[in-house]
Amino acid sequence: MPSFTRFETHDVRFPTSRDLDGSDAMNPDPDYSAAYLIIGTDAADGLEGHGFAFTIGRGNDVQVAAIQALAEHVLGLDVDTVLADMGATWRLFVDDSQLRWLGPEKGVMNMAISAVVNALWDLKAKRAGLPLWDLLAGMSPEELVALVDFRYLTDALTREEALAILRQAEPGRAARREELLQKGFPAYTTTPGWLGYSDEKLVRLAREAVEQGYTQIKLKVGGNVDDDVRRMRLARETVGPDIRIATDANQRWDVSDAIAWVKALTPFDPWWIEEPTSPDDVLGHAAIRKAVAPVKVATGEHVQNRIVFKQLLQAGALDVLQIDAARVAGVNENIAILLLAAKFGVPVCPHAGGVGLCELVQHLSMFDFVAVSGTTQDRVIEWVEHLHEHFLAPARVESGAYVTPTQPGFSAQMVPATLTHFAFPNGAEWAPAQLEVSA
């Protein structure tokens, strides 16, 4: 009976602030980082589970410590038992009564649980020889609802309603699986729109995006309204009337500022405004949505858990729901959120970018398409063209669509050399002087 023998964390940081990649109104100089976890066993197959929480630099050490706090819930346990009942395993982490005090179910502790839960799913999928999306999409409706904690949800979604959603999608699974393997899943690109880029770079990248087959791009907004109007006009002139241009304020505004700012951009036909205000402000989002329609309101990358998503849906506060693979408590909680979105008929367009978020979240959208919502209508996964080279099985986009991954696992595994070179603070990237001395 194999057991878990290794629980190894790494503080990995990339100096993305040097080129302003990833710059937005709230986060002007991020160093994209991963609080990275490798879970190992003494099984003869030698397979490992890899997972991570994404941060943007300072505090990545705090996130690593939070992941380490969960080691005692994994080390020494029987591998088959833990992976056979991932619903019970999820509760093991979330229900730790002392760690729960640090949330509950929010912030660095929930993100730490996401790293551990996702690493276990990576291992489970590798052992099954399947990409995660396919492993999930092959589970029965009963098995899937057993992964979900319905506590705090039943006023909006009961276990029976979730079962009905999954059963309704069941007959079409095989055909959609084939379609997914043929066509991939629609993507949109944020690459042209970082706030730190010049107008020339914005125009060039927007033109390239259309040439590459994207039907939607995204611009960061919220720095200065005159600059945003100018950039939005340039982008619209460049891509023409038929390409969707989403905008993203990264929580920059009060409710009234958000409404005024979006109205200033409305002549250029923005498709959605993302994170117009605090991710905790359910009623604020609802007020903004009412005022800026038909511009859609999108949010979710900083929504802490399934309960806040439930409220956003109940309050009619969003048109587009943006899951993040590594902020809520991993695969299980995201399945709950996908089911909530399906119940309310709201399309899910995941947050990605960062480091490794495209790699992870593609699996959840693909699972959603095959086994939950059954459609790609108005659904696109964010794509950002950087840091993919650090992954063993990098996500790929061709002709504006994610190429469906076929390698076993959750696509979470980084190249070993990256873990050492970008280790903070002593890897060669961060401590070149030290390297010279030792050389």
- Whether the bond between 104 and the residue before it is cis, its omega within 30 degrees of 0, is yes
Stretch that binds Mg ion, among 245-253, 262-270, 363-371, 402-410 (CB under 5 A): 245-253
Give Dmax (Cα) for the chain.
64
CB of 89 or CB of 190, closer to Mg ion: 190
The site for Mg ion, by CB under 5 A, has a size of 1
Q: For residues 303 and 281, what is the distance between their CA atoms, to the nearest angstrom?
A: 10
* Shortest distance (Å) from residue 171 CB to Mg ion: 35
Does 296 qualify as catalytic in the annotation? no
Q: For residues 431 and 436, what is the distance between their CA atoms, to the nearest angstrom?
A: 9
* Shortest distance (Å) from residue 96 CB to Mg ion: 30
CB of 86 or CB of 317, closer to Mg ion: 317
CB of 48 or CB of 248, closer to Mg ion: 248
Q: Which of 10, 296, 351, 390 is catalytic?
A: 351
Q: For residues 252 and 323, what is the distance between their CA atoms, to the nearest angstrom?
A: 20
Neighbours of 416 (CB within 10 A): 10
Q: For residues 128 and 122, what is the distance between their CA atoms, to the nearest angstrom?
A: 10
Quick check: 31 binds Mg ion (CB under 5 A)? no
Does 106 qualify as catalytic in the annotation? no
CB of 135 or CB of 349, closer to Mg ion: 349
Q: For residues 270 and 257, what is the distance between their CA atoms, to the nearest angstrom?
A: 17
Choose, by CB under 5 A, the member of 48, 248, 281, 333 that binds Mg ion.
248
Q: For residues 32 and 56, what is the distance between their CA atoms, to the nearest angstrom?
A: 4
Q: For residues 67 and 11, what is the distance between their CA atoms, to the nearest angstrom?
A: 11
Phi–psi pair at 190, nearest 5 degrees: -100, -5
Closest residue to Mg ion using C-beta atoms: 248
CB of 248 or CB of 359, closer to Mg ion: 248
Stretch that binds Mg ion, among 72-80, 246-254, 309-317, 399-407 (CB under 5 A): 246-254
Cα angle, residue 394 at apex, residues 392 and 397 outer, rounded to 5°: 165
Q: Find out whether 344 and 309 touch, Cβ atoms under 8 Å.
A: no
Stretch that binds Mg ion, among 196-204, 220-228, 247-255, 336-344 (CB under 5 A): 247-255
Stretch that binds Mg ion, among 132-140, 240-248, 251-259, 362-370 (CB under 5 A): 240-248
Q: At what angle do helices 282-292 and 255-265 cross, to 10 degrees?
A: 30
> To 10 degrees, the CA torsion angle through 187, 191, 192, 195?
130
* Shortest distance (Å) from residue 341 CB to Mg ion: 17
Q: For residues 375 and 109, what is the distance between their CA atoms, to the nearest angstrom?
A: 33
Stretch that binds Mg ion, among 161-169, 241-249, 337-345, 402-410 (CB under 5 A): 241-249
Q: For residues 243 and 214, what is the distance between their CA atoms, to the nearest angstrom?
A: 8
* Shortest distance (Å) from residue 24 CB to Mg ion: 7
Q: Which of 10, 126, 220, 285 is catalytic?
A: 220
H or E element that contains 6 = strand 4-13
CB of 21 or CB of 248, closer to Mg ion: 248
CB of 187 or CB of 423, closer to Mg ion: 187
Q: Find out whether 89 and 70 touch, Cβ atoms under 8 Å.
A: no
* Shortest distance (Å) from residue 187 CB to Mg ion: 15
Active site residues: 220, 351
Residues that bind Mg ion (CB under 5 A): 248
